[in-house]
């Protein structure tokens, strides 16, 4: 059932649309707000022929609603399912149709369907919807090689002509977020997929370490700032009944899990010795692609990790157990048993969702990047994770490509993104009042009024643009641990503040290796090499840390093993892609 407020809004929009169709369009169209307030080109010298051409167009000026003057355009959309609900019945759907003047015909995959299989069937048959959506989940989104291949095969349309002429939302995003256009442009200059943008700072700095500050207070210890100080704190946690329950043997000084954001053992704790970016462990040094695990600094870092393990400071389960097991252990008793853990967010060792809420998560604060023996203090940084590509396409058989583009582009404006992410002004959010503060402690821009409503907005279905200001300008309780702040809400500002400490010592932009476009053949070969190289490296890593292999005696054998698994070929393929990318230094 639609909410009463939404019904009233729809009624008002219908009256406005009726007035628009019976009178002058310019007086009754809704202008966009915020960063998308430019509604015309400002050119007052158009010739009579161009005026006539504009009057014949079914579209209003870019940046003006409705997008379509007379509401006679219908676009078909393929998309994943919406659980027990239907996107056709979503609260946002009739609002979008009324605001844009575009009718939507939904082709929704069943929850049991494989989304990519359904898309492949459409491509093979040629019977494609106008717009094709995979959803934002990693399992359904296509990689860059697939995206470029679909474009080369003529299955999806290049979009740069619209980006350069009628774009409002993505044009503004390109201007505000450096590197975004370059990231989504293929080597031959085409853009086939419009990204979902998440400007959250914490996703750019995944590899954090959360330290139990209550244990520091119990033992009268200072927050460590170097790897040596951290080692000494871990020793104290192990030996001095840090949790204060009278049992000196139940503390686990340091722990992590086998998979998850920011959890790799050679991430945060390796950086003081050797910068080792997440997952692929690749970086760029003066234009050359490098693999961190074969560098001398990495070898020194392994010695440090082995020391932590051999002295009983690192949990032996770290290489095998998962997040749930770690959370369950830490939450089982009256006191926390984990002194520090590696993860993007505190929920990897604490339960932030079960009521009544546990207070244990409040004991953990993110540790600022540590300095190593040489003084190196650096944080791995990936700004390109803000852009999720391979999820929104316009098919080559689209009945009206410009209408499809304008719809997607409108959702990328501030107005469209607020609607998709939060809802309607006055119903789901309002402009902030003078005394309300944002995540930076500055005057906020908006205040949310609702949360958790089912089948209410499209969220990230068709993509939206939440630039950094969008993310941080929401009214925020400056105390994330206040009684009226749920932990899943409070963690947002905690992760933001933690990421700001990493931002101070972030790696240089020129050293970051983005996800790049490659040929289908090169991508297949690289995937083949990665499928053996990465597991082999992770296995050697575990053996070095646990001591079953010696960093001193087995290092040469390790390097030979990496080479036998195709490391040189792997780096050559990456270098080839990097050299033709816009990121080449």
pLDDT at position 71 is 86
Residues 6+ apart with CB under 8 A from 164: none
Q: Report whether the peptide linkage leading into residue 66 is cis, meaning its omega lies within 30 degrees of zero.
A: yes
The pTM is what?
A: 0.90
pLDDT at position 285 is 97
What is the distance between the alpha carbons of residues 253 and 250, in angstroms, rounded to a whole number? 10
pLDDT at position 520 is 87
Hey, is 463 helix, strand or coil? coil
295: left (phi over 0), alpha (psi -120 to 50) or beta: beta
What is the distance between the alpha carbons of residues 350 and 328, in angstroms, rounded to a whole number? 8
- Angle between helix 144-152 and 520-546 (nearest 10): 170
Residues 6+ apart with CB under 8 A from 510: 284, 585
| Domains assigned to the chain | 29-36+56-197+388-421 (3.40.190.10), 206-380+511-579 (3.40.190.10)
Alpha-carbon distances of 487 from 337, 347, 353, 360, 450, rounded to whole Å = 20, 9, 7, 11, 17
Q: What is the helix (H) or strand (E) element at residue 366, kind and residue range?
A: strand 364-366
Alpha-carbon distances of 390 from 26, 172, 200, 413, 458, rounded to whole Å = 36, 21, 20, 20, 18
pLDDT at position 28 is 34
Exposure of 482 in the CB half-sphere (CA atoms within 13 A): 9
Size (the chain), residues = 585
pLDDT at position 39 is 36
Task: State how beta strands 392-394 and 131-133 pair.
Answer: antiparallel
**Mind listing the pLDDT tens digit of every residue in the chain (585 residues)?**
455 556 556 655 555 555 554 443 333 333 333 333 333 333 433 333 333 345 689 999 999 999 999 988 999 999 999 999 999 999 999 999 999 999 999 999 998 999 999 999 999 999 999 999 999 998 999 999 999 999 999 999 999 999 999 999 999 999 999 899 999 999 989 999 999 999 999 999 999 999 999 999 999 999 999 999 999 999 999 999 999 999 999 999 999 999 999 999 999 999 999 999 999 999 999 999 999 999 999 999 999 999 999 999 999 999 999 999 999 999 999 999 999 999 999 999 999 999 999 999 999 999 999 999 999 999 999 999 999 999 999 999 999 999 999 999 999 999 999 999 999 999 999 999 999 999 999 999 999 999 889 999 999 999 999 999 999 999 999 999 999 999 999 999 999 999 999 999 999 999 999 999 999 899 999 999 999 999 999 999 999 999 999 999 999 999 999 999 999 999 999 999 999 999 997
Tens digits of residue pLDDT in 535-584: 999 999 999 999 999 999 999 999 999 999 999 999 999 999 999 999 99
Structure token pair of residue 70? 């007379």
- Contact 194/417 with Cβ under 8 angstroms? no
Tens digits of residue pLDDT in 231-286: 999 999 999 999 999 999 999 999 999 999 999 999 999 999 999 999 999 999 99
- Contact 91/455 with Cβ under 8 angstroms? yes
């Amino acid at each position: 059932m639609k909410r009463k407020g939404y019904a009233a809004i729809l009624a008002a929009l219908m009256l406005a649309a009726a007035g628009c169709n019976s009178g002058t369009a310019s007086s009754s169209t809704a202008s966009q707000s915020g960063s998308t307030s430019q509604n015309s080109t400002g050119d007052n010298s158009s010739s009579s022929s161009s005026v006539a051409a504009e009057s014949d167009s079914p579209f209003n000026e870019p940046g003006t609603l409705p997008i379509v003057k007379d509401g006679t355009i219908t676009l078909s959309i393929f998309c994943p399912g919406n659980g027990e609900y239907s996107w056709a019945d979503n609260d946002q759907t009739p609002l979008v149709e009324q605001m844009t003047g575009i009718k939507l015909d939904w082709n929704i995959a069943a929850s049991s369907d494989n989304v990519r299989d359904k898309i492949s069937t459409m491509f093979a048959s040629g019977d494609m919807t106008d717009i094709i959506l995979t959803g934002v989940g990693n399992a359904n989104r296509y990689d860059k090689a697939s995206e470029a291949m679909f474009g080369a095969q003529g299955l999806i349309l290049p979009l740069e002509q619209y980006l350069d002429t009628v774009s409002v939302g993505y044009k503004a995003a390109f201007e505000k977020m450096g590197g975004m256009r370059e990231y989504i442009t293929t080597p031959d200059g085409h853009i086939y997929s419009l990204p979902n943008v998440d400007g959250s700072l914490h996703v750019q700095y995944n590899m954090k370490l959360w330290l139990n500050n209550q244990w520091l207070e119990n033992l009268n210890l200072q927050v460590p700032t170097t790897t040596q100080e951290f080692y000494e704190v871990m020793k104290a946690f192990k030996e001095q009944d840090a949790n204060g329950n009278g049992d000196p043997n139940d503390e686990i000084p340091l722990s992590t899990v086998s998979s998850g954001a920011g959890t790799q053992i050679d991430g945060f704790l390796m950086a003081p010795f050797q910068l080792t970016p997440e997952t692929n462990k690749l970086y760029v040094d003066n234009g050359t692609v490098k693999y961190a695990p074969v560098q001398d600094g990495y070898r020194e870092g392994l010695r440090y990790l082995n020391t932590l393990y051999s002295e009983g400071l690192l949990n032996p389960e770290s290489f095998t157990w998962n997040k749930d097991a770690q959370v369950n252990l830490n939450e089982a008793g009256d006191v926390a048993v984990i002194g520090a853990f590696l993860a993007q967010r505190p929920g990897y060792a604490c339960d932030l969702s079960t009521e009544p809420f546990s207070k244990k998560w409040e004991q953990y604060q993110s540790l600022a990047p540590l300095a190593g023996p040489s003084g190196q203090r650096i944080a791995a940084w990936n700004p390109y994770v803000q852009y999720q590509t391979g999820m929104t396409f316009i098919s080559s058989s689209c009945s009206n490509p410009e209408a499809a583009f304008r719809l997607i582009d409108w959702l990328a404006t501030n107005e469209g993104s607020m609607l998709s992410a939060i809802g309607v002004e006055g119903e789901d959010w309002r402009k902030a009042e003078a005394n309300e503060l944002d995540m930076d402690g500055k005057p906020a821009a908006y205040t949310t009024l609702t949360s958790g409503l089912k089948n209410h907005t499209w969220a990230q279905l068709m993509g939206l643009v939440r630039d950094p200001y969008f993310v941080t300008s929401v009214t925020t309780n400056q105390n994330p641990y206040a009684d009226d702040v749920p932990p899943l809400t409070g963690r947002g500002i905690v992760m933001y503040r933690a990421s700001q400490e990493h931002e101070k010592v972030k790696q240089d932009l020129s050293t970051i290796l983005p996800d790049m476009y490659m040929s289908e053949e090169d991508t297949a070969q690289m995937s083949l090499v990665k499928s053996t190289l990465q597991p082999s490296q992770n296995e050697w890593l575990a053996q070095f840390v646990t001591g079953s292999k010696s960093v001193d005696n087995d290092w040469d054998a390790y390097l030979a093993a990496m080479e036998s698994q195709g490391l040189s070929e792997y780096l050559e393929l990456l270098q080839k892609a990097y050299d033709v990318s816009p990121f080449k230094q």
